[in-house]
Structure 1
């Protein structure tokens, strides 16, 4: 039995257990991850973030090939122990963890590259806390239907990939949004090969004010269930709403989630349009576990 020194953190209520494993020596099983994330018998979290040096994890080779400065790799596991490609709230909290533990530095105006399974993601400080460039996004093929408990009929969804897969569903009212019972997994038809996070979205009134779009969202994350926030989900929801709104829709959005508010911005780059996510990152407490 070994002692795991950990930190609990969250980004708008999307919470994580974080620990440093520079040498890549701690290989938690799915059952161990699930036990740690259990809210009754463990620490409680939506997932686990392991900080490992990119050179010491197999997936880190691709990160270092993409950016030699991507010293740290964010090894993310969902609450059920499954492996995930990326986490938008998680990468902000991960960056805060590295900085507060003197594992990395990030001065105003500087960029901190972080390796993930969906590529290197650049993090900067901003007024909201941290901003992460989540890279290029794309629409997914197909026209999925989504069924959710307490929503009377199946709703059309829009598939969007932002390093991990999402299906976004527009609802007609706040009442519909609140009535959906996301304790049960929404059913996507046809079934997605790798699963998907499902976001339910309602536009604010007005939807656009002073050039900034505004939406409200709830989410069911694959491997974690309903969470208070999903960073990549907020990005997917904003992208989907802009797509539905058509020409003239803004490239900057405010997304309200049950745990707070995050910002989304779309911007051009040499390799195509990128999208960024900004918001707070909080570290709550430290502790030890016998695993």
Structure 2
């Protein structure tokens, strides 16, 4: 048994249990992750985040060797114990946790480099939360044979979901973790989905995917900013109140569908609040950033 001092946090309702383990001394077995995340017998969360020094774990060592500023690594696990490459809400909450715990200093406007399984993510402190540069993105997802070459990956996935009539085309998008975005036509279609059932993808990605169901705003664009609403089923967690990388994927998908005159800034409504997605040019290609609140709720002690 292990005693953990933890903090509960969330980003627009996407909630996490966070704890510091600088030297990677805690055995994070899938069973322990599931026990912590269990909403009846544990603390309850969509995911568990360990703050560990990048040079203390094998996956983090190459990252800190490449970028010495990425001292801390976000070791993220889904509620079912599986490992995720990236979490857009989680990395913002992680930055808030590091600052509140006194592990880093981050003044408003300052930038913090965080190691993740996706690579280094730069998080900036803003006036009303945090903004994370999630780096480059790509059409398509691995394990389906669908990628961005020659336009393949453009609505080539078929998606079925409980209470959604027929199979719908889905657009695969990789933002460090895999997503499939499906457009719905009405508020009733979006509200009527039963996401206690796992959406069925054909072809099925080898490692699964998060699936976003998105409703374009009416109007779609106002004052140069796009507007969409979405719900999400996250692999390893089920339906969540929000998914940061899912909001990014949804905004990228709708911009792709809308054509070259579509804006590069989007407001994404999720059941837990509103996130902002921004696409911008960088030296290595187009990047995408996610901004929104990051809240810490309470701390406590747990034996697992």
**Shared fold, TM over 0.5:** yes
Question: What is the match of residue 237 of structure 2?
Answer: 224
Q: Gaps (5+ residues) in structure 2?
A: 141-145, 147-152
TM norm structure 1: 0.99
- Tell me how far apart the structure 2 counterparts of residues 28 and 268 of structure 1 sit (CA, whole Å): 38
Of 204, 228, 231, the residue aligned with 2:217 is 204
- Tell me how far apart the structure 2 counterparts of residues 35 and 46 of structure 1 sit (CA, whole Å): 12
Question: What is the match of residue 254 of structure 1?
Answer: 267
1:2 deviates by 2.2
State the secondary structure of the residue aligned to 1:40: coil
**1:116 is aligned to 2:119:** no
Tell me the matched-pair count.
Answer: 291
Question: What is the match of residue 87 of structure 1?
Answer: 87
- Tell me how far apart the structure 2 counterparts of residues 181 and 154 of structure 1 sit (CA, whole Å): 15
- Tell me how far apart the structure 2 counterparts of residues 42 and 100 of structure 1 sit (CA, whole Å): 23
- Tell me how far apart the structure 1 counterparts of residues 246 and 127 of structure 2 sit (CA, whole Å): 21
CA contact (8 A) 2:108 2:127 kept: no
Question: What is the match of residue 66 of structure 2?
Answer: 66
Question: What is the match of residue 17 of structure 1?
Answer: 17
- Tell me how far apart the structure 1 counterparts of residues 39 and 108 of structure 2 sit (CA, whole Å): 36
CA contact (8 A) 1:66 1:120 kept: no
Query: What are the Cα deviations for residues 62-104 of structure 1, in whole angstroms up to 9, with x where unaligned?
Result: 2113311100000000000000100000000000000001001
State the secondary structure of the residue aligned to 1:18: strand
Of 268, 278, 281, the residue aligned with 1:268 is 281
CA contact (8 A) 1:129 1:280 kept: yes
1:148 deviates by 0.2
TM norm structure 2: 0.95
1:108 deviates by 2.2
- Tell me how far apart the structure 2 counterparts of residues 138 and 63 of structure 1 sit (CA, whole Å): 21
CA contact (8 A) 1:113 1:120 kept: yes
Query: What are the Cα deviations for residues 188-229 of structure 1, in whole angstroms up to 9, with x where unaligned?
Result: 001111100000000111010000000000000000000000
Root-mean-square deviation (CA, aligned residues, Å) is 0.7
- Tell me how far apart the structure 1 counterparts of residues 91 and 291 of structure 2 sit (CA, whole Å): 11
1:32 deviates by 1.2
State the secondary structure of the residue aligned to 1:237: helix
Question: What is the match of residue 169 of structure 1?
Answer: 182
Question: What is the match of residue 150 of structure 2?
Answer: none
